[in-house]
Structure 1
Amino acid sequence: MNTTLSTTTGRHDHPPQPRPEQAPERSQPRPRRVGPIDRLALHVGVALIKWGRRPGAVRPATQVAVEAADWDAALRVREERERAVERRRVDLLGYRLTVPFR
């Protein structure tokens, strides 16, 4: 059945809208909703997000006085430690694969 029934004429589910010629005239323009403080807060927030997502290692605040050479040495020691842990994990995995299950 392809019959479409229309609503009765004169029935409206929404309040009547004013016509353009009936709209009240505004004597002053609307005030701005976004003030300078809001704009400043937005810019500061975006800057903080960008700063928080920056790449690279950052020195902790407690080690600001550490020389660059000491910092590089500390990074090298940390990387060597991580490589040693990875080697141990791979060796253990190889051992587990070669030893028969009991």
Structure 2
Amino acid sequence: MNTTLSTKPGRHDHPPQPRPGQAPERSQPRPRRVGPIDRIALHVGVALIKWGRRPGVARPASRVAVETADWEAVLRVREQRERAMERLHVDLLRYRMTVPFR
């Protein structure tokens, strides 16, 4: 196992370096430039992500206590609002049924 193998003369382990004053070789074509529409799309996308991750509004503890005390009042208001919407819906249906089609 004392045999050593020699390398070929002129072999280099690194890619050829450009000479000073010579333009570097391009093995691949230049990548296309980013246009204004692409930039706008990128900015809008980042803004939408930031907007979607914005923190929520924290409610103070005093407001939570008031809300739990007035829970029945909140339920009554919600029921009244739902009944008003149902009446409006029924009135619109009744109007459509009575008015002749044009």
Q: Which TM bucket (shorter chain)?
A: 0.3 to 0.5
> Which of the pair has the greater relative contact order for Cα pairs under 8 Å at 6+ separation?
2
Q: TM-score, normalised by structure 1?
A: 0.35
- Structure with higher Rg: it is 2
Normalised by the size of structure 2, how large is the TM-score?
Answer: 0.35
